[in-house]
Structure 1
């Protein structure tokens, strides 16, 4: 089994969650990415969100939410993605960064347009009454 370790930012507003779709990708995902050598979760998540969505996460507001594991999208069978999710406030105006083709505020009705990990996140948020 191969494990891909990722971080994700859960930003829910008015019953919809912020999602992104990168160039060449066919599904939306919850924004975030992988750590670089020596980065903490908070540092890596802040960097990834700045790169993807052009906003700054507010340091004192970053808090752990939940970890999800699912088969990795567009990877060999047996590859698992572990998504460690955080919530945080942000400063700035959300815009698509260099690697993002589009971002959208999605509600539960479009759950099937996400990766399997994203679908698990949507299900958890719905069970909590957030989506």
Structure 2
């Protein structure tokens, strides 16, 4: 199986909820982030993607590494995503840009109404629930 290397953010808002995004032309919600370019560190890729997709400027040194996770890709059949996950606190407003069509803030419990990417559903949200306790 082909692997897509990504960096993603568990963004935590001031109210403790986390941000999920949905890309244009897709159904599944997932963490913000994206592909790591050749020669780019995961945290630098994350900073670039968060700025492109959400207008968010982060200090890479504030990103707390939470681990590496893998799952079947939500939008690329036959691919697996390998994700470097970082936790970041967000105090200001976030707006969808670039290929992001929709954003939603969710708490640890109420996501049954959303279609979720496998990585988000099976790995990241369970971790978020543990961290939120």
Same fold (TM over 0.5): yes
Q: Tell me the equivalent position of 1:9.
A: 9
TM-align CA RMSD? 2.0
Q: Does 2:114 correspond to 1:103?
A: no
Tell me by how many angstroms 1:92 deviates. 5.3
Kept in 2, the 8 Å contact 1:58–1:91? The answer is no
Q: Residues 66, 90 of structure 1: CA spacing in aligned structure 2 closer, same or farther, 3 A cutoff?
A: same
SS at match of 1:51: helix
- Summarize deviations over 1:87-129 as a string: whole Å, max 9, x none: 2345753111121111110123215521010112111222x14
Map 1:88-127; keep pairs closer than 5 Å: 88-90=88-90, 93-107=93-107, 108-110=109-111, 113-119=115-121, 120-126=123-129
> Unaligned 5+ residue runs, structure 1?
none
Q: 1 CA distance for matches of 2:60 and 2:106?
A: 25
Tell me by how many angstroms 1:60 deviates. 2.4
When the two structures are superposed, what TM-score results if normalisation uses the length of structure 2?
Answer: 0.85
Kept in 2, the 8 Å contact 1:12–1:130? The answer is no
Q: 1 CA distance for matches of 2:21 and 2:83?
A: 15
Kept in 1, the 8 Å contact 2:8–2:33? The answer is yes
Kept in 2, the 8 Å contact 1:56–1:90? The answer is no
Kept in 2, the 8 Å contact 1:58–1:89? The answer is no
SS at match of 1:39: coil
> Unaligned 5+ residue runs, structure 2?
none
When the two structures are superposed, what TM-score results if normalisation uses the length of structure 1?
Answer: 0.86
Count of aligned residue pairs for this structure pair: 129
Q: Tell me the equivalent position of 1:49.
A: 50
